[in-house]
Amino acid sequence: MEKIRAYLVSRAAAGDPDNLLSATVVYSKLAKEVPEAGFKGPRYTRIGHALDQIDRFEHQHGRPMLSALVVRITDMGPGDGSTCAPATSATTCR
């Protein structure tokens, strides 16, 4: 989980504030960039669980949800298995 978190933190830090989508990453690219996590396509269902754990950790430390950076390639939206809707605080995630 820490390698995924570190990758997402680096994406966020490298993002262009004038282009909000510049820090996003699609599920398949995340799986390729962090191969040791063992994520397999085509649905990448285990990524959602890892992102949920990362979001809870970030919330406990007063930081934003890093899972917002991980999007579907089809519409740049959150994955179907996302446990936290964008308008939902991490304290109410399932």
pLDDT in tens, 3-60: 999 999 999 999 999 998 999 999 999 999 998 888 877 777 788 889 999 999 999 9
Q: In terms of pLDDT, which residue wins out, 93 or 23?
A: 23
65: its two tokens: 């949800």
Look at residue 75 and tell me whether its pLDDT is greater than 60. yes
* Domain extent at residue 85: 2-92
Model-level pTM?
A: 0.80
The confidence score (pLDDT) of residue 19 equals: 94
CB atoms under 10 Å from CB of 20, counted, come to 9
Query: How many structural domains compose the chain?
Result: 1
